[in-house]
Amino acid sequence: MQSVHALEVRALSKTYGTGDRAVRAIDDLTFEVEPGEFLCIVGPSGCGKTTLLKCLSGLLRPTSGAAYLEGTLIERSPDGLALVFQEYSRSLLPWMTVGANVRLPLLGRRVRRSERRSRAAEALDAVGLTGFEDKHPWQLSGGMQQRVAIARALAYQPHLLLMDEPFASVDAQTRADLEDLVLDVHERFGITVVFVTHDIDESVYLADRIVVLTHRPTTVEEIVTVSLPRPRDQIATKELPEFMEIRGRVIRLIKGETGESDEGDDIPAGVVAAHEEVPE
């Protein structure tokens, strides 16, 4: 069992639409994530990062190739996988309290009510939101709402945590706090994390390895290993010469990429047909 990857992406590609209107979003992606690893994915804007995460979480079916979670082919939403969306305001349920939101993923499982409560309390404690169970998400600040979304993922006790630009819409200080929170959670629970971001500093600060993607149609440009010591620190780590060096390397990789391609960034509206979504 030693050799089983936490996540394995094999020659995965995704094309939206057919014929003349076909848009190749992902062209042949291959990489692996090891158990307990913190992997960041960065790339130029519009390079299909969200498409990739949708394929990994079983929401979209790849056109060809495959992804395996702990050796099992991902067809529908797999067990043991949690996803934190970019926009907390759209993925949290405003009609439920914070506590009910965090307990929600446990409804699909055979978990007793008392255990649901204790797991939710534990998850809220891990993100520093004890005492906010009975509030509604919209009564909290943006950063706190994203903490609720993270707590919801933790309560599910996933083996793999996918995060889709989770801190893109919070201010800088909150962002730094949330980065440290995710590092702490990763350390404490030993969860494998795949973290998509467009912020290069963030990716270097968080990751064990960084997958740098090319412009659309997307392939892996390079996989950069980040051998910075842990635990990381917002000031000390970022002052290390090695941090600057890796940061510069990733920036050059991405810049070189965007320089040579002038294609439009966005997938044209209407190309994503409903029938391409994975059926229920």
Residues that bind another protein (CB under 8 A): 54, 57-59, 76-77, 79, 81-83, 85, 87, 90-91, 93-96, 104-105, 107-109, 136, 138-139, 156
Nearer to another protein, 30 or 77 (CB): 77
Nearer to another protein, 151 or 253 (CB): 151
CB of 24 to another protein, least distance (A): 23
CB of 160 to another protein, least distance (A): 11
Nearer to another protein, 57 or 203 (CB): 57
Nearer to another protein, 81 or 212 (CB): 81
CB of 33 to another protein, least distance (A): 17
Nearer to another protein, 74 or 213 (CB): 74
206: phi then psi, degrees, rounded to nearest 5: -90, -35
Nearer to another protein, 45 or 77 (CB): 77
CB of 2 to another protein, least distance (A): 28
CB of 198 to another protein, least distance (A): 19
CB of 100 to another protein, least distance (A): 8
